[in-house]
A and B are shown apart, each in its own frame.
Chain A
Amino acid sequence: MSTSSFAVDIPELTLAAARKGDVRAFERIYRSFEKPAYTLALRMLGDAEEAHEVVHDGMLALFKRLGQFRGESPFWAWTRQIMVNEALMRLRKRQPVESLDLMPEPGIEHAHFMPQHGREMERALMALPEITRAVIWLYHVEGYTHDEIAESFGKTSSFSKSQLSRGIERLRQMLVPAAELNLCMMN
């Protein structure tokens, strides 16, 4: 069973109504995926405004292509792939980010809702280069395989494996000293 926050079942009746152009049915679909889609875009892009645009454009693309959904995969997975593609399209348009120092501070506006450990993790994640961050998120949170990530990025699975491995190593450098400190304080 998927741990993805997208894994929500949409009733067939709602899908059928949306296919026929029922705007209220489409709104129900939007409401079901609003938070998972925004979270995914925010984690991949690290920018709230761009994440809004991804959700907006992704939902319009979803509506446009609803008639092409044939039920070969769960509807939520199809929806998620559309959102991933929208976010990747925006990543590709950006200038390459070469220095971690150039990365913006992570979105701290929600930080006070999180436990300390989560806040540290989020801060470390957002300090990673965007491509590396996106690979880690798709792999560990959305449950994509390396082959699926490679296909989305138009690269080989070695690319995905190497990004993941380097990203985890960077996170280890950023987080382990703090974890060790906590351990010392507990002892």
Chain B
Amino acid sequence: MHDELKPGTDEFERSVGESLRKLPLQGPRRDLWAAIEADLPKQESARARWWPYALATAAALVLAVLVLPRQGSESTDQDVPVAAAEDPRAVWIAESQALESTLRALERRPLDARSAMAGAELEDLIGLTDLQLGVAAKPEEELALWQQRVVLMNELAQVRRSGRTRETAAYADMMPAAYRMN
């Protein structure tokens, strides 16, 4: 509930609020849809163009998760053995949700230009993972994508917290410029 109209809000302020809420909605002077539609990422072609990169990234990330010691991980939930969990996918989804909060909290930290760019690339990769999750047909594909999402989010948290990482540099160098937004 709004914390206005509380004790102390005088009559004039109430009437201002009421008048403002009564102002009519305004529409754009021109139809913006055509321009938005033209700028939407072309999903099919983007997926096709990205598939080799995504596969390579996924393979590297799975290797990193399974073999390499984890540094700067955001939560100990990630250490739960996947095979031991009743629904391994749920573990990664929960981890992903926890990381959303961490990332929101870190969102406003100032970054240098290279870190900001690396962060944007990671955000794009997370977005791509989400697109792939939307069309994943098999449970094992979905599980791998959730794992990939968590690893990317951990990387993004690390970039936002402390600047550029080696792994991030590798991602940034892999990204075709055409995919970059803004």
Contacts and interface: CB of A to CB of B under 8 A. Distances in A.
A118 B135 contact: no
Nearest to B27: A35
Nearest to A61: B181
B138 interface: no
Contact of B134 (A3, A21, A35): A21
Contact of A121 (B19, B100, B127, B130): B19
Interface string A93-115: 00000000000000000100110
Taking each of B24, B26, B41, which has the highest tally of chain A beta carbons within 10 Å of its own beta carbon?
B26
A126 to B, nearest CB: 11
B22 A172 contact: no
B89 to A, nearest CB: 14
B60 interface: no
A139 interface: yes
A84 interface: no
A42 B2 contact: no
B28 A38 contact: yes
A64 B4 contact: no
Interface residues of A, number: 53
B24 A114 contact: yes
B166 interface: no
Contacts of A154: 108
A145 B23 contact: no
A20 B135 contact: yes
A5 B36 CA distance: 22
Contacts of B102: none
A76 interface: no
Given A60-B40, A145-B3, A21 B131 contact: yes
Contacts of A117: 19
A178 interface: no
Given A34-B28, A52-B30, A19 B20 contact: no
A147 to B, nearest CB: 8
A23 B35 CA distance: 13
19 contacts: A27-B37, A34-B27, A34-B32, A35-B25, A38-B28, A52-B30, A64-B181, A65-B127, A67-B129, A68-B126, A70-B100, A110-B26, A114-B24, A118-B24, A139-B2, A140-B4, A145-B3, A168-B16, A176-B12
Interface of B: 2-4, 12-13, 16-17, 19-30, 32-33, 35-37, 39-41, 43-44, 97, 100, 108, 126-127, 129-131, 133-135, 181
